[in-house]
Amino acid sequence: MSKAIDFYFDFSSPYGYFASTRIDDLAAEYGRKVNWHPVLLGAVFKTTGGMPLPMVPLKGVYSYRDFERSARFHGIPYQRPANFPLATQTAARAMLWVREQHGESKAVEFAKAVYRAYFVDGVNISDTDSIASIAASQGLDTAAVIDGANSAPVKEHLKADVDAAIARGVFGSPFVIVDDEPFWGFDRFDQLEAFLKNGTI
């Protein structure tokens, strides 16, 4: 059995969202499983000196255009959210809690629902009530998810996961590592596929 693919993403990242709509199918085609790792770009940027795209002069304006054009080009539903970027700790912690309690596949379903809520339905996913609603839509116990997401162990867990990601060289979203080969960006999915197919590039 081939090793699982590590898929790192921030819930506030449009390119991470685009990748989230493709990664499972792509992996399955080559007999791989995917481990989904929510990370916090804010913490990553403290290491790299990066900043959210919309805040970068010139690049920010271009980025908004590129998000929409890339979505159309790849046929992915996308609606520019009113609040962007935003804090994703609660969403990430809730996902970790769902995984602990209900396993990977339920956690991935939850993550996809969070992404859809944000990038398709315009929901402000930094808001705890919104995360509660998304949890409810997935048949989860709302109060338990929010309590779990706010619990000290889950907070510690996310912090440790983000530190581990940075230690592996993760500096953006999406970021995929397969057999120690790193791929940054949805626009490297063509190379990722070639690597999955041939084991080398």
Contact positions vs a second copy (CB under 8 A):
47-51, 56-59, 61-62, 65-66, 69-70, 72-73, 166, 169-172, 182, 184-185, 187-188, 190-191, 194, 201
Of 28 and 201, which CB lies nearer to a second copy in the complex structure? 201
Of 56 and 164, the one with the shorter C-beta distance to a second copy is 56
- The distance of closest approach from Cβ of residue 101 to a second copy in the complex, given in angstroms and rounded to an integer, is 32
Q: How far is the CB of 3 from a second copy (least distance, A)?
A: 19
Shortest Å, Cβ 80 to a second copy: 16
* Cβ 191 vs Cβ 183: under 8 Å: yes
Taking the complex as a whole, how short is the minimal distance between the CB of residue 150 and a second copy, in angstroms?
A: 30
Q: Which is nearer to a second copy, 45 or 84 (CB)?
A: 45
- Give the integer Cα–Cα distance in Å for 102 and 95: 10
Show the beta-strand stretches assigned E in the chain. Answer: 5-9, 34-38, 175-178, 181-184
3 state SS of 135: helix
In terms of CB distance, is 68 or 104 closer to a second copy?
68
CA torsion sign for 44, 155, 18, 30 is: positive
Q: CA 131, CA 141: separation in Å to the nearest integer?
A: 12
Q: Outline where 75-127 has alpha helix (H).
A: 89-102, 104-119
* DSSP-derived pairing of the beta strands 34-38 and 181-184: unpaired
Q: Residue 7 in contact with residue 183, Cβ under 8 Å? A: no
Q: Which CB, 4 or 166, lies closer to a second copy?
A: 166
CB of 51 to a second copy, least distance (A): 8
Return the number of the residue (53 or 146) whose C-beta is nearest a second copy.
53
Q: Which of 152, 185, 157, 158 is nearest to 170 (CA)?
A: 185
**Measured from the CB of residue 141, what is the shortest distance to a second copy in angstroms?**
38
